[in-house]
Amino acid sequence: MTPNQTLNGRYRIISSLGEGGMADVYLAHDLILNRNVAVKLLRFDLQNDDKTIQRFQREALSTTELVHPNIVSVYDVGEDNGIHYLVMEYVDGTDLKQYIKEHFPIPYQQVIDIMEQILSGVATAHAHDIIHRDLKPQNVLMDKKGNAKISDFGVALAQEEQTLTQTNAVVGSVHYLSPEQARGHLATKRSDIYSLGIILYEMLTGRVPFEGENAVSIAIKHYQNQIPYVRDFDPRIPQALENVVLKATAKNPFDRYNSVSEMADDLSTALSVRRAEDSRFIAPSLTDETIIADASDFQPNPKDVAEVKAISQNGSKDQQPTKSKKRRNRHPLRKKIAFFFGLLILFIFGIGLAFYLSFPKVVTIPNVTGLTQAQATAVLKKHDLKVGQITRTGDQKIDYKRVVETLPRKKKQVQAGVAVNVVISQGPNSYVVDNYIGNSYAKVAKKLRAKGFKVKKRSIQTTQFDRGKIIYQSVVPDQVVVPRATTISFSVTK
């Protein structure tokens, strides 16, 4: 859109406010109500994508019922000559991400004031059973008076709709992603609470807790690593205030606040002198430790065994009878006893030899990581091993339907013929979709199928691009998805 263009004869475009993965936002003037508004236009290349249009319309439906001073209001939704648009309240200011950069360090009381506004808005959404799922500073607008307003409910879902929309597995921005969303699980209200805890962390430290080479590595850190302590960054931060971050970002959702209102209540007293002696919050689930004894704890110490053998050997030498100088003087009874003990030794030796010969064959578990199930089965059989239980798990490194590990593990010595359990990869639990437009379909399809995606192809006749190149993809770039639950369709030149 260009300045002075008008949508539906009512909204005259003034200037561009920003661009996003799904839509572009413009400042416009409502000619009927004589006020400035923000107009979000669905990108031209997505105008024919039904799923994107549904998500775009869902933002309007999700927000129209949310009337709150800390939520950006939606005024109108419509279409003009195939252009889908959303008309929203115009917030004259910046987003919280930029606000943090410009004003950091922010006084603690001001941090709490801003967070309380955000929590109030989210509480209203949760009261309507709407989960935002993509809370981040970029989606919190700050006006020039310091008021916070939550925007972009484009990935928000009513709670009862989640099971119907999980197939697409769009799970939000990775720096603020809850562990359960990173694993591809359903988002809940406590998932929003986790994101709010990360926002509070960033307001107190000026940075996000986890960085990485790519979005997947960051998502892994969210469900594996402990959130860094904000007091390690700034020891002046009260322990009670740090505890709000720790409780909101607990890995186990049940260790977090039960509701946004509960988090707001805790935050409101975080600077109180009565809480100066608060101890650091530790998630309850982390205190329930289970001690598992290692099998090596029950094995005899080789050193001790060697010492026992040495003592035994020395003792046997010490107990050897002194040879008689004159064999002819040995008593006949002693000959009988010697003969009896000789037979006993032969008998014991025979039993030991039979036991040794009957001892089962020992083999080493081969390394079958990265092989297909059929290939792994063949290798195990070649090593006189059977295939036991087949289980499946998500894995970030091992390709789809390839072996992750065996139980017992590789290089372990076991008896021949035992059953070896095999763990098969279901591909990554979360994956960031790249922009594949212009790339070779054959290479992209092979790569995505190895991750667990279902890939579909639609051939397009055109002379503008080389043959076999991708000119359209159904999943928008930079979305975090669950590969095994996602189908990507490509339009390919022929």
| pLDDT band for position 58 (cuts 50, 70, 90) | low
Please give the CATH architecture assigned to the domain spanning 431-493: 2-Layer Sandwich (3.30)
pLDDT at 43 (0 to 100)? 74
| Claim: this prediction has a pTM higher than 0.85 | no
| pLDDT band for position 65 (cuts 50, 70, 90) | confident
Please give the CATH architecture assigned to the domain spanning 6-89: 2-Layer Sandwich (3.30)
The domain limits of the chain are 6-89, 94-287, 362-425, 431-493
- Tens digit of each residue's pLDDT (9 = 90 or more) over 284-309: 877 654 333 343 433 444 443 344 34
More confident of the two residues 159 and 273: 273
Average pLDDT, the chain: 81
Highest mean pLDDT among 1-15, 137-151, 338-352: 137-151
Residue 86: count other Cβ atoms within 10 Å of its Cβ: 22
Residues 24-32: contacts with CB under 8 Å, at least 24 apart: 26/1, 27/90, 28/87, 30/75, 30/87, 31/6
Query: What is the mean predicted confidence (pLDDT) over 394-419?
Result: 85
| pLDDT band for position 137 (cuts 50, 70, 90) | very high
362-425 CATH fold: Trypsin Inhibitor V; Chain A (3.30.10)
Cα–Cα distance for residue pair 5/161, rounded to 1 Å: 37
More confident of the two residues 24 and 278: 278
Whether 94-287 and 362-425 share one fold: the answer is no
On whether the CB atoms of residues 277 and 133 are closer than 8 A, the answer is no
pLDDT at 307 (0 to 100)? 40
More confident of the two residues 484 and 210: 210
CATH number 3.40.1010.20 is the correct assignment for the domain at 94-287: no
Cα end-to-end distance, the chain, whole Å: 32
Supply the residues annotated as catalytic. 134
pLDDT at 443 (0 to 100)? 94
